[in-house]
């Protein structure tokens, strides 16, 4: 009888110990699951807000007048010209690049440009612009000479937008047309955009960079 009681006591203890351990493990798993759900919700909310900002801004800043200013290609700051004279009754697709270049993003974009805009590297109908890009990129950014502006062509109210890659068309009206922000979480969206605006750009006579403005490959 004594041994039976001892055995039952041990069994009860082991069951309690196992149950307690199982409950703790279960609580840990629940906590981790809740944490992952919360993180995912925060992640989704964050990127949803970014997308909302992007899509709203594309509408908000469309048709905004652009301030005329001095510009130059590459490192030729002495050969500057007015932006309005460069447009000169042709449609130009501008690709605006911030100081902190996302190089992998640039590569993704240039791969699309190579297919949609033949000879985009030397065409003045497709222009890479920046106000403060590093000198090492000015003469050759993925095969393209960069136009430097004296101030941002579009001044956004959001720092996030000011640090983003974006496209827009500019013609003799000097107003922003077809503004489009690059979203690396949805690259195909930019591909669709470039195909859509290609007819507008390629319908005009294409001009080319001079020999002094061509990049050295």
pLDDT for the residue 112: 95
**DSSP percent split of the chain into helix, strand, coil, nearest 5:** 50, 15, 35
| pLDDT: which is higher, 157 or 87 | 87
Cα angle at 54 between 40 and 36, to 5 degrees?
5
92-96 and 166-170 strand pairing: antiparallel
Element (H, E) at 96: strand 92-96
| Residues 209/132, Cβ–Cβ less than 8 Å | no
DSSP-derived 3-state class of residue 200: helix
d(CA 94, CA 4): 88
Task: Give residue 35's pLDDT band: very low, low, confident or very high (50, 70, 90).
Answer: low
| pLDDT: which is higher, 94 or 45 | 94
| Residue 162 CA from chain centroid, whole number | 11
Which residue, among 52, 63, 128, 124, has the nearest Cα to 90 in the 3D structure? Answer: 124
Please, what CATH class does the domain formed by 64-213 belong to? alpha beta
Measured between its terminal Cα atoms, the distance across the chain in Å is 94
pLDDT for the residue 86: 92
Does the predicted model carry a pTM greater than 0.75?
Answer: no
DSSP-derived 3-state class of residue 148: strand
pLDDT for the residue 151: 87
- Report, as an integer, the average pLDDT of 79-85: 93
């Amino acid at each position: 009888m004594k041994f039976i009681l001892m055995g039952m006591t041990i069994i009860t203890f082991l069951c309690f110990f196992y149950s307690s351990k199982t409950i703790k493990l279960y609580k840990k798993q629940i906590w981790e699951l809740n944490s992952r759900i919360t993180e995912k919700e925060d992640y989704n909310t964050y990127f949803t807000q970014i997308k909302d900002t992007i899509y709203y801004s594309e509408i908000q800043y469309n048709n905004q007048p652009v301030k005329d200013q001095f510009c130059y290609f590459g490192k030729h700051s002495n050969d500057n010209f007015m932006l309005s004279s460069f447009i000169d009754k042709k449609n130009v697709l501008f690709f605006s690049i911030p100081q902190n270049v996302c190089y992998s993003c640039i590569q993704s974009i240039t791969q699309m440009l190579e297919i949609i805009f033949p000879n985009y590297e030397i065409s003045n109908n497709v222009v890479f612009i920046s106000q403060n890009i590093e000198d090492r990129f000015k003469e050759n950014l993925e095969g393209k000479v960069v136009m430097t502006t004296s101030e941002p062509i579009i001044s956004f109210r959001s720092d996030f937008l000011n640090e983003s890659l974006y496209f827009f068309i500019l013609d003799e009206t000097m107003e922003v047309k077809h503004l489009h922000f690059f979203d690396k979480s949805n690259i195909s969206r930019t591909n669709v955009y470039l195909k859509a605006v290609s007819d507008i750009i390629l319908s005009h006579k294409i001009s080319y960079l001079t020999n002094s403005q061509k990049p050295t490959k």
